[in-house]
Chains A and B, each alone.
Chain A
Amino acid sequence: MAPVLPDFSNSVKLKYVKLGYQYLVNHILTLTLVPIMAGILMELLRLGPEEILNLCGSLQLDLVQFLCSFFLVIFIATVYFASKPRTVYLVDYACYKPPFTCRVPFAAFMEHSRLNLADSPKSVEFQMRILERSGLGEETSFPPALHYIPPNRTMDASRADAELVIFTAMDSLFEKTGLKPRDIDILIVNCSLFSPTPSLSAMVINKYKLRSNIKSFNLSGMGCSAGLISIDLARDLLQVHPNSNAVIFSTEIITPNYYTGNNRAMLLPNCLFRMGGAAILLSNRRSEKNRAKYRLVHVVRTHKGTDDKAYRCVYQEEDKEGKVGISLSKDLMAIAAGALKSNITTIGPLVLPASEQLLFLLSLIGRKVFNPKWKPYIPDFKQAFEHFCIHAGGRAVIDELQKNLQLSSEHVEASRMTLHRFGNTSSSSLWYEMSYIEDKGRMKKGNSVWQIAFGSGFKCNSAVWKCNRTIDISTDGPWADCIDRYPVHIPEVVKL
């Protein structure tokens, strides 16, 4: 018992020291201002009212000077308020819930794989190993066309898939927010791999009869981080257009992209990508301030495309037999870690409390000046954020980020459970994760949420949201019928 106690008491002492340091540095301004203000107040009280009036009179201001100063103050205030960026509110969002007829149990996925890849049983074995360790569950979904043997990857089937996902989720968004189609000023649709002409945003405009002067955009080829790129684009547009609503639709239409060859690096997406989509309503209207769920605080985008290895690590190309697939390189995790580092270097100063920033600065100086072998100090992001939404790209991605950011399993629970229930739904996965946190009743007013997404390019994008009001558990979200079963324990290897 004796050796344990000192460690315990040491760690407790350390904890209090740390807390004390954090309180001191984070509230340094308050702590220095309070004594100064107290001093001034004491002085004023000591002087007495007549002395103060004498002091004011001795300044000898005449009317013109007084008016000029007064207008100067007004002018400065106006410039300040006019140049302040418009607040962007997230009013609400709706995630697509696939019907039970689209369900893909492991056994069915493997059997279809075996029938589709009749000539390469080794590839089937490989896919089985991936699936066993993937962290996916038995309720993920494929679009209807991919349930056929062989999969139906025609343009018609892809459009049908897009219509199913987009229109269902859009209808849900309209219902939740009471938004009228005619009130949409900006429409952004992002879907990386399926980009028909006319675009998917044109498809939405056609279906819902949106206004002819709508600002519509269609982002394709930008990978799983395109959702946050759309948010960034919408934010910029909402600075230019006052009093506007922006609808963003993030999805990935996987129908045309089921890989039918046997190159192992290209078989991975088949195992992980699943059907999903999310419709988000952003607004800069002051009237939305009360009912909006979140306020957008920061968006930070990092692009590592200058590095050739990063550029090629998620690469769509033809294999030796001419079949098109997305090749994932073995360096993916290392490149992702590097991209993350760049991103947090930029976002750190924006969100971290002063205590963490000071420690990081000291550690940086120490490493540069004294000893390069010192371990770099990893800022504690748990101080800045209550909730984390890490793109559910795969089990390895979540594990890597949990390790790098030193997060607990509760912090990454939303990501892991989304991967289990819905699979990798690409750019919309962040919204399923938000929905999980809300439906667990954990989202309280004032909470900060950090969304991180990685994507081809190689990009790492983050968005920071502040919760505007405590959010009730929903009855119609994608988790409504299964939230009580979560969290589940996901074994390292599932026995198929």
Chain B
Amino acid sequence: MVSLKEENLVYGIKISSIGPGRISGSDLIHEPNNTDLAMKLHYLKCVYFFSGEAVQELTIMHIRKTMFLWLNDEYITCGRFRKSESGRPYLKCNDCGIRFVEANCDKTVEEWLLMEDHSLHNQLVYHQPIGPELIFSPPVYIQVTRFKCGGISLGLSWAHILGDGFSFSDWINRWGLLIGGLKPNALPKFINSEEGSKIPAPIIGKELLSLKRVDPVDDLWVTPNNCKMETFSFHVSPTQMSNLKSKVSGDKHKFRSFESLCAIIWKCIAIVREGFEPKLVTICKKDPYTKGGVLSNSQIISAVRADFPVMDANLDQLVTLLVNQAIDERNVIEATVKTDNGLSDFILYGSNLTFVDLEETDLYGLKIYGKKPDFVYFTIQGVGDEGTVLVLPGKNDPGKDVEVETGRFVTLILPQDVMLKLKFELKNEFSIA
């Protein structure tokens, strides 16, 4: 029986492709580095909602035209993966393009956003994994859904091998500049394996904590799961955030919102999974030294190990652990993937309980005709069994005044059985979710 919740609210799907308007070159190749290859089973899914009068005048034809112009410089995202003789994947920049999907919905943007079930946003993103035919699998999909009020949603599916959430956000924002009639000033370049942010030289032999090797997936790049994963999202208002911080530590300003939320959720999950509490977590954050305008997987990936029982720990203690004891694993990841030339398959998100800090992405920086999105939803496809927590910025700009609290939007991707109990725990103890 199909419940009302699963009713298909989106119809009139039309699929085509868009690509660079001019020839990018012949025999152009992009070689993903070892960290890129480690991320290949993960995909980012993001939905931007725009309403208002200005957007009503934005036609599909204009979107396509500006995207063709935008993709002239973004030809990496228009290529297709192949395997070299050694079996290592590389990207052929053959202008094959991005899959472009048009759809319609009979609700208004406002009505849609009032719906509580955030997992419905998946209907606004057309997603297919890469494979089984690598040469015919686009790494990026864009879905434009027109709502009854004339507003639109822009749903993107992005293969993580191309770049992390921060690169992705910069990438789509460059299109936003073109819509507004401006030219993006930082032209993206290839990032060579040797370039990139300042990762220290790979250290062989050190234990890898944040990445897990999985059984070979061949040419279908999908994360193997042993249990059914569920996604749940909730807003944390500025007041709630303020209260949470005080619960963590007497001094509201001692810790950042992200670490406070991490500690709370980690403890709750530990309580819920009594006896099997997660002692090891992975933290992903933006690297402040990464060059802008470049597509790369350069986010800081650190592992945190708790030597004490988490479910009984003080929140203060947990936050201190997260802030001070996080070990940057990027060099170990690089070395581990390098050992067999990128032929093994790994997962990052969900190999341990993972917390991703997306507060510093400029998700609300994608403007159409000067207007920010009403709401941005962000999730990860292909999360492992340990689960992942995403902390996104609230809509309003924090601005320079750190005294002013801003809200957050939290997305949990956890096994079904953990999720139910966690929601209960968070609601009871912390009045969130």
A and B: interacting chains: yes
**A residues adjacent to B (C-beta < 8 A):** 99-101, 103, 105-108, 110-112, 114-115, 138-139, 147-149, 152, 495-496
A148 vs chain B, min Cβ distance (A):
5
Contact yes or no, B21 A105, CB < 8 A: no
Complex alpha-carbon distance, A496 and B16, angstroms: 21
Contact yes or no, B96 A108, CB < 8 A: yes
Contact yes or no, B15 A148, CB < 8 A: yes
Contact yes or no, B80 A147, CB < 8 A: no
B13 vs chain A, min Cβ distance (A):
10
Q: Which of B21-41 contact A (CB under 8 A)?
A: 21-23, 27
B346 vs chain A, min Cβ distance (A):
28
Complex alpha-carbon distance, A112 and B18, angstroms: 12
Contact yes or no, A148 B14, CB < 8 A: yes
Is B133 engaged at the interface, CB distance under 8 Å to the other chain? yes
B158 vs chain A, min Cβ distance (A):
18
Looking at the complex, which one of B23, B80, B97 makes contact with A138 (CB distance below 8 Å)?
A: B23
Looking at the complex, which one of A100, A107, A139, A495 makes contact with B96 (CB distance below 8 Å)?
A: A107
> Number of contact residues on B: which range applies?
20 to 34
Contact yes or no, A139 B16, CB < 8 A: no
Contact with A along B122-161 (1 / 0, CB 8 A): 0000000000010110100000000000000000000000
B188 vs chain A, min Cβ distance (A):
20
- If A107-B80, A148-B14 touch, whether A138 touches B95 (CB-CB below 8 Å) is yes
Task: Kindly list chain B residues whose C-beta atoms are within 8 Å of the C-beta of A99.
Answer: 65
Write the chain A residue with the least CB distance to B99.
Answer: A149
Task: Kindly list chain B residues whose C-beta atoms are within 8 Å of the C-beta of A111.
Answer: 17, 80, 96, 135-136, 138
Write the chain B residue with the least CB distance to A100.
Answer: B21
- If A100-B22, A139-B23 touch, whether A105 touches B97 (CB-CB below 8 Å) is yes
Is B342 engaged at the interface, CB distance under 8 Å to the other chain? no
Q: Which 3 A-B pairs have the closest CB atoms?
A: A100-B21, A107-B96, A107-B94
- If A100-B22, A105-B95, A105-B97 touch, whether A112 touches B68 (CB-CB below 8 Å) is no
Complex alpha-carbon distance, A310 and B103, angstroms: 48
Complex alpha-carbon distance, A105 and B25, angstroms: 11
Contact yes or no, A114 B136, CB < 8 A: yes
Known A107-B92, A111-B138, A138-B95; 15 more pairs at CB < 8 Å = A100-B21, A101-B64, A101-B65, A101-B68, A105-B97, A107-B95, A107-B96, A108-B17, A114-B133, A115-B136, A139-B22, A148-B14, A149-B15, A149-B16, A496-B94
Write the chain B residue with the least CB distance to A103.
Answer: B21
Is B384 engaged at the interface, CB distance under 8 Å to the other chain? no
Write the chain A residue with the least CB distance to B94.
Answer: A107
Q: Which of B49-87 contact A (CB under 8 A)?
A: 64-65, 68, 80
Write the chain A residue with the least CB distance to B101.
Answer: A149
Contact with A along B189-213 (1 / 0, CB 8 A): 0000000000000000000000000
A485 vs chain B, min Cβ distance (A):
9
Is B393 engaged at the interface, CB distance under 8 Å to the other chain? no
**B residues adjacent to A (C-beta < 8 A):** 14-19, 21-23, 27, 64-65, 68, 80, 92, 94-97, 133, 135-136, 138
Contact yes or no, A105 B14, CB < 8 A: no
Complex alpha-carbon distance, A189 and B366, angstroms: 47
A398 vs chain B, min Cβ distance (A):
22
A154 vs chain B, min Cβ distance (A):
12
Task: Kindly list chain A residues whose C-beta atoms are within 8 Å of the C-beta of B17.
Answer: 108, 111-112, 147, 149
Complex alpha-carbon distance, A349 and B210, angstroms: 84
Task: Kindly list chain B residues whose C-beta atoms are within 8 Å of the C-beta of A115.
Answer: 136
B69 vs chain A, min Cβ distance (A):
8
Task: Kindly list chain A residues whose C-beta atoms are within 8 Å of the C-beta of B22.
Answer: 100, 139
Complex alpha-carbon distance, A100 and B18, angstroms: 10
Contact yes or no, A105 B19, CB < 8 A: yes
Task: Kindly list chain B residues whose C-beta atoms are within 8 Å of the C-beta of A148.
Answer: 14-16
Complex alpha-carbon distance, A100 and B24, angstroms: 13
B92 vs chain A, min Cβ distance (A):
8
Task: Kindly list chain A residues whose C-beta atoms are within 8 Å of the C-beta of B64.
Answer: 101
A215 vs chain B, min Cβ distance (A):
37
Write the chain B residue with the least CB distance to A109.
Answer: B96
Contact yes or no, A108 B95, CB < 8 A: yes
Task: Kindly list chain A residues whose C-beta atoms are within 8 Å of the C-beta of B19.
Answer: 103, 105, 108
Complex alpha-carbon distance, A111 and B23, angstroms: 17
Write the chain A residue with the least CB distance to B96.
Answer: A107
Complex alpha-carbon distance, A3 and B27, angstroms: 46
A126 vs chain B, min Cβ distance (A):
16
Task: Kindly list chain B residues whose C-beta atoms are within 8 Å of the C-beta of A105.
Answer: 19, 23, 94-97
Complex alpha-carbon distance, A103 and B65, angstroms: 12
Task: Kindly list chain B residues whose C-beta atoms are within 8 Å of the C-beta of A100.
Answer: 21-22, 68
Task: Kindly list chain A residues whose C-beta atoms are within 8 Å of the C-beta of B14.
Answer: 148, 152
A141 vs chain B, min Cβ distance (A):
11
Complex alpha-carbon distance, A112 and B136, angstroms: 9
Complex alpha-carbon distance, A470 and B136, angstroms: 49
Task: Kindly list chain A residues whose C-beta atoms are within 8 Å of the C-beta of B95.
Answer: 105, 107-108, 138
Task: Kindly list chain B residues whose C-beta atoms are within 8 Å of the C-beta of A496.
Answer: 94
Task: Kindly list chain B residues whose C-beta atoms are within 8 Å of the C-beta of A495.
Answer: 27
B192 vs chain A, min Cβ distance (A):
24
Contact yes or no, A101 B15, CB < 8 A: no
Contact yes or no, B21 A101, CB < 8 A: yes
Q: Could you say which of B15, B17, B65, B92 has the most chain A C-beta atoms within 10 Å of its C-beta?
A: B17
Q: Could you say which of A111, A114, A138 has the most chain B C-beta atoms within 10 Å of its C-beta?
A: A111
Task: Kindly list chain B residues whose C-beta atoms are within 8 Å of the C-beta of A152.
Answer: 14
Complex alpha-carbon distance, A47 and B136, angstroms: 94
Task: Kindly list chain B residues whose C-beta atoms are within 8 Å of the C-beta of A112.
Answer: 17
Task: Kindly list chain A residues whose C-beta atoms are within 8 Å of the C-beta of B16.
Answer: 147-149
Write the chain A residue with the least CB distance to B14.
Answer: A148
24 pairs from A and B in contact (CB 8 Å cutoff): A100-B21, A100-B22, A101-B64, A101-B68, A103-B21, A105-B19, A105-B23, A105-B95, A105-B96, A107-B80, A108-B19, A108-B96, A108-B97, A111-B96, A111-B136, A111-B138, A112-B17, A114-B133, A139-B22, A147-B16, A148-B15, A149-B16, A149-B17, A495-B27
Task: Kindly list chain B residues whose C-beta atoms are within 8 Å of the C-beta of A110.
Answer: 136
Complex alpha-carbon distance, A170 and B92, angstroms: 40
Task: Kindly list chain B residues whose C-beta atoms are within 8 Å of the C-beta of A147.
Answer: 16-17
B72 vs chain A, min Cβ distance (A):
9
Complex alpha-carbon distance, A496 and B21, angstroms: 19
Task: Kindly list chain B residues whose C-beta atoms are within 8 Å of the C-beta of A103.
Answer: 19, 21
B25 vs chain A, min Cβ distance (A):
10
Task: Kindly list chain B residues whose C-beta atoms are within 8 Å of the C-beta of A101.
Answer: 18, 21, 64-65, 68
Complex alpha-carbon distance, A101 and B17, angstroms: 10
Complex alpha-carbon distance, A114 and B138, angstroms: 13
Complex alpha-carbon distance, A110 and B96, angstroms: 9
Task: Kindly list chain A residues whose C-beta atoms are within 8 Å of the C-beta of B23.
Answer: 105, 138-139
Complex alpha-carbon distance, A99 and B96, angstroms: 17
Write the chain A residue with the least CB distance to B137.
Answer: A111
B29 vs chain A, min Cβ distance (A):
12
Task: Kindly list chain A residues whose C-beta atoms are within 8 Å of the C-beta of B136.
Answer: 110-111, 114-115
Complex alpha-carbon distance, A308 and B225, angstroms: 64
A356 vs chain B, min Cβ distance (A):
43
Task: Kindly list chain B residues whose C-beta atoms are within 8 Å of the C-beta of A139.
Answer: 22-23
Complex alpha-carbon distance, A100 and B71, angstroms: 12
Write the chain A residue with the least CB distance to B79.
Answer: A107
Task: Kindly list chain A residues whose C-beta atoms are within 8 Å of the C-beta of B94.
Answer: 105-107, 496
Task: Kindly list chain B residues whose C-beta atoms are within 8 Å of the C-beta of A106.
Answer: 94
Complex alpha-carbon distance, A103 and B92, angstroms: 18
Complex alpha-carbon distance, A105 and B68, angstroms: 13
Task: Kindly list chain A residues whose C-beta atoms are within 8 Å of the C-beta of B21.
Answer: 100-101, 103
Task: Kindly list chain A residues whose C-beta atoms are within 8 Å of the C-beta of B65.
Answer: 99, 101
A469 vs chain B, min Cβ distance (A):
34
Task: Kindly list chain A residues whose C-beta atoms are within 8 Å of the C-beta of B15.
Answer: 148-149
A107 vs chain B, min Cβ distance (A):
4
Complex alpha-carbon distance, A495 and B17, angstroms: 22
B100 vs chain A, min Cβ distance (A):
9
B422 vs chain A, min Cβ distance (A):
41
Complex alpha-carbon distance, A397 and B136, angstroms: 32
Write the chain B residue with the least CB distance to A101.
Answer: B68
Write the chain B residue with the least CB distance to A485.
Answer: B23
